[in-house]
């Protein structure tokens, strides 16, 4: 069995900012290779692993899609040896000052350690007030200005560098838990399926660019044309100051999303299955586009019945996103059981209700 904390930590420690996923794709590919019959990269860099079912050909297929890209930063300007940065994806700028980062210096092909800094408040324009704006943030690498210009250029990537940390209570905290924790869950699913025959084909997919454009979700759905899809992603966990209806308790089970982005029949089937397996679950209401790959998958081609399975993350889009490892284990198990539960004619039984 995969040691989830260990594997998740290794996934987090490899870079793969949105649009630049190759390093993490390599790692996932090696991990999935023994569990699937075929594995390849799509034209835009998403990873497609095919685990063939036992049904007669042509077999229906289920795609389980997890995005592998991460939020981060990109160098926008070099000023006196300091780097100005722009966000890659929806980064929470308020927590950036003090962050440890890696500057992926393209001129020298080096990974430079750096820290994100904010000039003292008294030197910032009065109009800045108490707000932290990305325009005021800088990355300090400690290098002299001429060394910086020799090594770094505009557009170079800057990723978080803080190592993941195991907190008490089975919680892992670190950057990029969104969405490498889903990759870990899908890996658990693939592992479980080694001893469980299934009739349908399974496409295990790690998509690119969820945080920025949905590129991977659109293109993989179109290329693979699965009969149905399940997307796995994080949702907002309850915590201090975050207790509204849009938040869910961490460590208490699997999130089953409901709303116009989800196929009601698939949602119902997942609920029934979770009940049968005594996997705790909670409802997560999404009012429209869920803001995940599930949207892109649902609207591809003639429309693909899609469900969204979630796990709560605390401190979303910060360098200390936190997740309950128990929830990840549960998501993996639910996915595997769903795949094995699919009978040959399941697709014909689907109704929109
Ligand atoms: Zn995500």
174 is written with which tokens? 């670190």
The tens digit of pLDDT for each residue in 161-188 reads: 999 999 999 999 999 999 999 999 999 9
Helix (H, G, I), strand (E, B) or coil at 232: strand
Q: Are strands 281-285 and 254-258 parallel, antiparallel or unpaired?
A: parallel
Q: How many CB atoms within 10 Å of residue 109? A: 8
Mean pLDDT, rounded, for 249-275: 96
Q: Measured in angstroms, how far is the CA atom of residue 129 from the centroid of ligand 1?
A: 31
Q: Measured in angstroms, how far is the CA atom of residue 330 from the centroid of ligand 1?
A: 18
Q: Measured in angstroms, how far is the CA atom of residue 117 from the centroid of ligand 1?
A: 26
Asked whether the beta carbons of 230 and 241 are under 8 A apart, the reply is: no
Q: How far is CA 305 from each of CA 32, 51, 61, 66, rounded to the nearest angstrom?
A: 25, 20, 12, 16
- Per-residue pLDDT band for 2 (boundaries 50, 70, 90) equals low
Q: Measured in angstroms, how far is the CA atom of residue 277 from the centroid of ligand 1?
A: 26
Q: Measured in angstroms, how far is the CA atom of residue 183 from the centroid of ligand 1?
A: 11
Q: Are strands 100-105 and 110-117 parallel, antiparallel or unpaired?
A: antiparallel
Q: Measured in angstroms, how far is the CA atom of residue 234 from the centroid of ligand 1?
A: 6
The tens digit of pLDDT for each residue in 263-305 reads: 999 999 999 999 999 999 999 999 989 999 999 999 999 999 9
Residue-level pLDDT at 55: 95
Alpha carbons 212 and 209: distance in angstroms, whole number: 5
The tens digit of pLDDT for each residue in 47-91 reads: 999 999 999 999 999 999 999 999 999 999 999 999 999 999 999
- Per-residue pLDDT band for 191 (boundaries 50, 70, 90) equals very high
CA-wise closest residue to 210 among 308, 297, 293: 293
Q: Measured in angstroms, how far is the CA atom of residue 306 from the centroid of ligand 1?
A: 16
166 is written with which tokens? 């195991």
Q: Measured in angstroms, how far is the CA atom of residue 338 from the centroid of ligand 1?
A: 22
Q: How many CB atoms within 10 Å of residue 132? A: 17
Q: How many CB atoms within 10 Å of residue 42? A: 19
Q: Measured in angstroms, how far is the CA atom of residue 326 from the centroid of ligand 1?
A: 18
Asked whether the beta carbons of 220 and 205 are under 8 A apart, the reply is: yes
């Amino acid at each position: 069995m995969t040691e989830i904390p260990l594997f998740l930590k290794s996934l987090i420690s490899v870079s793969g900012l949105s649009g630049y996923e190759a390093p993490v794709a390599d790692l996932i590919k090696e991990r999935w290779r023994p569990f699937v019959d075929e594995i390849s990269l799509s034209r835009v860099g998403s990873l497609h692993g095919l685990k063939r079912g036992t049904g007669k050909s042509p077999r229906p297929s289920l795609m389980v899609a997890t995005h592998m890209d991460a939020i981060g930063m990109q160098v926008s300007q070099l000023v006196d040896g300091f780097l100005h940065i722009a966000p890659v994806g929806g980064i929470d700028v308020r927590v950036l000052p003090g962050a440890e980062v890696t500057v992926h210096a393209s001129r020298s092909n080096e990974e430079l350690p750096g820290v994100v800094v904010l000039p003292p408040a008294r030197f910032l324009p009065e109009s800045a007030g108490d707000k932290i704006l990305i325009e005021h943030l800088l990355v300090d690498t400690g290098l002299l200005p001429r060394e910086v210009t020799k090594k770094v250029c505009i557009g170079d990537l800057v990723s978080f560098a803080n190592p993941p940390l195991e907190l008490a209570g089975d919680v892992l905290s670190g950057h990029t838990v969104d969405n490498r924790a889903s990759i870990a869950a899908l890996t658990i699913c693939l592992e479980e399926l080694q001893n469980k025959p299934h009739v349908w084909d399974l496409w295990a997919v790690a998509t690119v660019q969820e945080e920025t454009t949905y590129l991977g979700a659109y293109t993989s759905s179109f290329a693979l044309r699965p009969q149905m899809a399940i997307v796995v992603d994080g949702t907002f966990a309850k915590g201090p100051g975050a207790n509204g209806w849009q938040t869910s308790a961490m460590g208490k089970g699997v999130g089953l999303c409901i709303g116009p982005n989800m196929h009601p029949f698939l949602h119902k089937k997942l609920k029934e299955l979770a009940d049968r397996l005594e996997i705790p679950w909670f409802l997560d209401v999404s009012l429209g586009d869920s803001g995940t790959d599930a949207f892109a998958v649902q609207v591809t081609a003639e429309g693909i019945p899609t469900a969204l399975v979630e796990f709560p993350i605390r401190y979303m889009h910060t360098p200390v996103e936190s997740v309950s490892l128990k929830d990840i284990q549960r998501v993996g198990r639910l996915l595997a059981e769903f795949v094995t539960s699919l009978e040959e004619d399941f697709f014909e039984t689907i109704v929109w209700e």
